[in-house]
A = this chain, B = another copy of it.
């Protein structure tokens, strides 16, 4: 039915959408950011793209994502999950740009969350820059759609799974946790109701201590319940 054309080969890449929280320069509000890498060769030379690279023959998929991440941005993610495998034939030149790559690329895309303090360690190198997730420049390939999908996934998953802690240090207040939700979902949440829901999940363990040094009633500190951070199905059992 389908005869493979000789001048085209399928190669496999692993890319990652990495989310982090930082204050917005204008508003000062906590906002979702992600690091992008500037392409230094055709196609799409000079444009911004997701960090990624070819899959090495002796690397697991998730390991490949982590290695490229470490190599390009210096980041160690606190949460990593497979997003989707993008592999349509036309995706290299989907933006109607005249570029023609001889190789067809199938990208297995992961999405990752990093802690706020980890962001500080990030290498802001020559060709790596952070952008506001909801206000990105034009991206290479189909990476804009991929980011959209990752954003939708993050926003959906944070509402029914305790992944917000992946943005936070080991000890945090309920206000911290709520701030993460509000930043990700871009809404305000009722503190009282948020508390009730958060405590109902049973994934929060009170440390017994309170945060001191506030100019008001000191909030209780919590820790996230130990437990596997959503293992990939290949690692299950």
Contact = CB atoms under 8 A, between A and B. Distances in A.
Contacts of A232: 84
Of listed A8, A84, A142, A145, residue having the most chain B CB within 10 A: A84
B61 A88 contact: yes
Given A145-B234, A236-B145, A87 B4 contact: no
A67 B1 contact: yes
A58 B5 contact: yes
Contact of A57 (B1, B10, B86, B237): B10
Interface in A51-67: 55-61, 67
Nearest to A55: B10
Q: Range of interface residues on chain A?
A: 35 or more
Interface in A210-237: 232-234, 236-237
Given A57-B5, A149-B233, A85 B82 contact: yes
A71 B2 CA distance: 12
Contacts of A142: 234
Nearest to A153: B233
Interface string A118-155: 00000000000000000000000010011001000000
Interface of A: 1-5, 8-10, 12, 55-61, 67, 71, 82, 84-89, 91, 104, 106, 108, 142, 145-146, 149, 232-234, 236-237
